[in-house]
Amino acid sequence: MRTLLLQFIAGSLLFLTACQKKADAPAAESRPSVKNPLSVKTPDDDVIATFQSKGRDQRSAATNLPIFLEIAALPESHEVVTGLVGKVTTLLSQSNISSNLVATIGAEKLSSILEATIEFDSVGELRRSKGDPLTGTVALRTSDEQHAALTNRLSPASKDSSNSGVSAARKGNWTLLELGRTSKNTGSDNVEKLLARGESFVHSTNWLDVTINMQKLGSTWFSANGSTSNQLHFAIAPQNDTFRTEIHLTSERPFNFELGEWNVPTNTIRDPLIGFTAMQGVRRWIQEQSATSTIGLTNAPNQVFLWSQAISPFSVSVAASSEAPKQIVDGVVGKLLPRWKPVLAPLSVGKFEVWTNESIVKWLNLPVVIPFLRSAPAPETNFIFAGLFPVTDLGTKAPPPELIAQVASRTNLVYYDWEITSERMTQWRQISQVISIIKNEFSGDTNLLSERWLNGIQAKLGNCVTEGLLTNPRELAFVRRSAMGLNSLELVSLARWLDPAFTPKLREKKATEAAVPLAPTP
């Protein structure tokens, strides 16, 4: 269930942390190391997810994280948490696997339970036996007064507690909540194990720890050669003045990644950089996309690079190694764009122009941006090159060698991303606004929660480094060192997601914009 994973990942916003100092590029010694592969115990047969979480008191005691405390105290941060709880509740109520549980509990009570897991030290698990609906157990470390207040909020309106969907009990220092109804009770042994895990986690350095059985969720995320019995473990913990986030994904079968020597287009990538991303092993995924089949590409790129420059908000470029970049451009122009025409025509914006001699296609007459696709300039013409704004002179300043070394020195590296989060956030905010304008969904309201919250946190954010490594044939490990647990794109996307839906106004269609020329110009 993707929404369940979103609940825990988005919940990392509640564990904000301090900033790194701004730097031109990450030094070699600042590389976030991946620990030895985790020995994650497979959950019991009917357990699909377990979690442990530190409460507000323990987070507030992090005196070595002054920026975290400052951001967490912002009124907008409280609004984000409230909005997030509401959104997650809605998503869970719409999910196939959890909708029955939400209906049994009630959305209002579920929101109260989610808020309680944020407020108190908590531990819990979700179960689903064969043929039974989803049920859950949550234990919250509370005082007697807090227990009374919480159970009062969750009490049913009628005296018949069997209809409430939630039963509460006091177990030592814990409020124990049983969620949903099933023919099988959780059992005293399982409860004792759960509470023992909670007591142990109080002394853990992690602030959040989640294990998910992907097969029982019916998810095919990161499936390896058709395998769906993957195990996902997610943990986040303070590390000095930043956060360390780790995701370990294990599979019963080896991951089918084609890894090799890195071929970074260092003559096309130019400084001043504020963000750089490299990924490899993506050939099979690209080859499986319908657009790839449409343009007739038989040998998809296996390595992709994306970078952002401190030139303008739209200085974002991407390149991928390709034996025939001209074939890709011709396929996009001749086969893909005609298929996209019915989708693009209602937008009534822009037109495509093609320079056949140079194999360049540009999307003109858009607000601010001029997306383009072409072969990379010499000497790297064996790369397909695209961006949001074409630059005639790429410049002569090469990217920092320390940054390139972070990628080129490791053959088991699947993914690498570095950014100056505050500066990259400026780019994503403006790019998202341009997309909204093109889709006729831009409200222009500067008082939206997303605008107020992002304005409040942006200047406080430093560097973010994310790495994905194939630690062994059956395990992928992602590790991140960051100011808030999320990077700039994730923060902007989350903030926009929390904004209310905007109803587009009818756009008058100009006669000159009715036709979108797709044919190459002479």
| End-of-domain residue from the set 398, 420, 449 | 398
Compare 89 and 37 and report the one with higher pLDDT.
89
* DSSP code, position 252: S
Same domain as 146, residue 288: no
Handedness of CA 406, 407, 411, 412 (dihedral sign): positive
Whether residues 243 and 269 share a domain: the answer is: no
Q: Across 185-240, where does the E strand assignment appear? A: 208-213, 231-239
Q: pLDDT band at residue 34, thresholds of 50, 70 and 90? A: low
Record the tokens describing residue 78, joined without a space: 């409280």
Kind and range of the H or E run holding 38? none
Cα(193)–Cα(191) distance, integer angstroms: 5
Tally of domains within the chain: 2
Taking the chain, what is the end-to-end CA distance rounded to the nearest angstrom? 51
Tell me which residue range forms the domain holding 350.
Answer: 260-398
Select from 417, 421, 395, 412 the least CA-distant residue to 467. Answer: 417
Residue 19 pLDDT level (bands cut at 50, 70, 90) = very low
Domain membership of residue 507 (yes or no) is no
Nearest to 222 by CA among 255, 194, 191: 255
Please tell me whether residues 237 and 323 are part of one structural domain: no
| Cα(293)–Cα(422) distance, integer angstroms | 38
Place of tokens 């647990």: 485
The runs of H, that is alpha helices, within 124-185 are: 144-154
**What does the alpha-carbon distance between residue 79 and residue 334 come to, in Å, rounded to a whole number?**
48
pLDDT at 45: 66
In a domain, 508, yes or no: no
Asked if the structure places residue 444 within a domain, the reply is no
In degrees and rounded to multiples of 5, residue 177 shows phi and psi of -115, 125
Asked if 279 and 190 sit in the same domain, the reply is no
Q: How far is CA 460 from CA 72, 422, 447, in A?
A: 12, 7, 20
* 445 within some domain: no
pLDDT at residue number 109? 93
SS (H, E, C) 444-510: CCCCCHHHHHHHHHHHHCCEEEEEEEEEECCEEEEEEEECCCCCHHHHHHHHHHHCCCCCCCCCCCC
Rounded CA gap, 405 and 91, in Å? 41
d(CA 473, CA 23): 34
Which of these ranges, 36-50, 125-139, 214-228, 503-517, has the smallest mean pLDDT?
503-517
Which range has the worst mean pLDDT, 148-152, 228-232, 267-271, 428-432? 228-232
Q: Does residue 237 share a domain with residue 139?
A: yes
Compute the average pLDDT of residues 77-105: 92
In a domain, 100, yes or no: yes
Report strand pairing: 273-280 vs 242-250: unpaired
Q: 13: how many CB neighbours lie within 10 A of its CB? A: 21
Mark whether 204 and 302 lie in a shared domain. Answer: no
Question: How is residue 416 written in tokens?
Answer: 């690498």
pTM: 0.85
| Residue 246 located in a structural domain | yes
Q: Domain for residue 329, yes or no?
A: yes
Predicted confidence at residue 218, as pLDDT, reads: 65
348-383 pLDDT, tens digit each: 678 899 987 778 999 998 889 999 999 999 999 999
64 close to 238: Cβ distance less than 8 angstroms: yes
pLDDT at 184 exceeding the cut of 60: no
Residues 178 and 285 placed together within one structural domain of the fold: no
Which uninterrupted H or E stretch holds 513?
A: none
Amino acid at 346: P
- Determine the 3-state secondary structure of 293 from DSSP: helix
Where is the domain boundary, 358, 375, 398?
398
**What distance in Å separates the CA atoms of residue 279 and residue 257, rounded to the nearest whole number?**
11
270 & 323 share domain = yes
With respect to residue 295, please indicate whether it lies within any of the assigned structural domains: yes
Quick one: 288 and 388 in the same domain?
yes
Highest mean pLDDT among 59-63, 389-393, 487-491: 487-491
How far is residue 44 CA from its own chain's centroid? 28
Average pLDDT, the chain: 83
Query: In the numeric block, which tokens belong to residue 369?
Result: 């941006």
Domain closes at, from 250, 285, 314: 250
Tokens of 459: 């200047």
Q: Which amino acid is at 319?
A: A
Same domain? 44 vs 173: yes
* Domain shared by 277 and 361, yes or no: yes
Give the Cα separation of 71 and 53 in Å (integer).
20
Do 194 and 274 fall into the same domain?
Answer: no
pLDDT at 285 over 80: yes
The backbone torsions φ and ψ at residue 163, rounded to the nearest 5 degrees and listed phi first, read -100, 5
